[in-house]
Chain A
């Protein structure tokens, strides 16, 4: 099946620092999505990417869809305490049938912001 490698697994940063995390895939993806999940809650969609090379921002968050269609990164600038959580990349692989809508998720990056 599809595999997404997400790194780093965890990060400890000082408040105000920038942070970067990325995902790579063994196969081509049609769409990349980035989610944030707080403990005991469902993932919340942060950014969606649809085109290779696309760079999209949402406030202090910036994400890019890699030109090979096999990777994506997420940057958070000027981190604040409420950025704490688990960040997941998710992608939809290109399938010949075109009918599948399932997302494949990475294993997450646990972000801790120290005051």
Chain B
């Protein structure tokens, strides 16, 4: 399967713990995005990479959140000192570079985070 993959699919943690999620984009896509989705809402943009460069960060991305894409392939999203409000589905998407195809973002299955 050559779609976007995310790991783990589910994570339950206690408040105050750190968690890390991984995303593997579609292999030929050099753009990678992280979104957060809470119940009953559409996904909200968190951050975006082109290759290894992090080009945009949302104001939703507090200083407890950090994302990396060290070799321009997979990416990790870390949340430090988790809070109950961090409970959400964390979605990763990727897209090609290019005039129109670069707008078509393909999503992974998401990581469901529950903070107790």
Contact = CB atoms under 8 A, between A and B. Distances in A.
Interface string A14-36: 00000000000000001101010
B110 A41 contact: yes
Contacts, number: 72
Contacts of B91: 42-43
Interface in B15-53: 31, 33, 35, 40-45, 48
Contacts of B106: 45
Contacts of A40: 109-110, 112
Nearest to A4: B42
Contact of B100 (A35, A50, A101, A104): A50
A104 B45 contact: yes
Given A42-B4, A101-B33, A107 B109 contact: no
A41 B45 contact: no
How big is the B interface, by class?
Answer: 20 to 34
Given A40-B112, A41-B110, A43-B91, A33 B104 contact: yes
Interface residues of A, number: 27
B32 to A, nearest CB: 10
A101 B42 contact: no
A66 interface: no
Nearest to B111: A42
A100 B56 contact: yes
B102 interface: yes
15 contacts: A30-B103, A33-B103, A33-B104, A42-B91, A42-B93, A43-B107, A44-B107, A45-B105, A45-B107, A48-B100, A102-B48, A103-B45, A105-B43, A107-B42, A108-B40
